Amino acid sequence: MFNFRRREIPWEVVDNKSVNAIPMYYEDEDLDIAVVGEADTRGTYVFQVTSGKEAPSLRNAVEFARQQLLQEIIKKGYNILLLESWQLTVFRRGKEHRIEVQYCGRPARALGKLPARRPPPFMAVLENCH
């Protein structure tokens, strides 16, 4: 009559880093904006990793999350993110590690030649992850 679940070990938060929204382009740059999205676009991406402490894995996760979010906004007719923010959380359960990245940005459509894409903001905070 009753099904009992095996007791599962919960995920433990090992570390959490975040960067608040910052502008990726400034007024002095020659950027012709045609349309700005009414709201921010957010994506949450989860990665299974061998160790949650390696800075390259963390950087790669944030960069991949940004690329995925850019692909999503391109489907909606935008081509840049004017503001960008991200939050990274490292989880552990036994020997398993999981990285969750929430990447957020304000989409816009710029006309003409786009400037080179900058890396995600403040990636240096990942150097001190425990």
Q: Where are the domains of the chain?
A: 12-113
Of 59, 110, 43, 101, nearest to 82 (Cα)?
A: 110
Select the more confidently predicted residue: 50 or 20.
Answer: 20
> Alpha carbon of 77 to those of 74, 100, 119: distances in Å?
5, 27, 22
- Given CA atoms 118, 122, 125, 126 in this order, what sign does their dihedral have? negative
Q: pLDDT digit string (tens) for 83-112?
A: 999 999 999 998 889 999 999 999 999 998
pTM of the shown model: 0.85
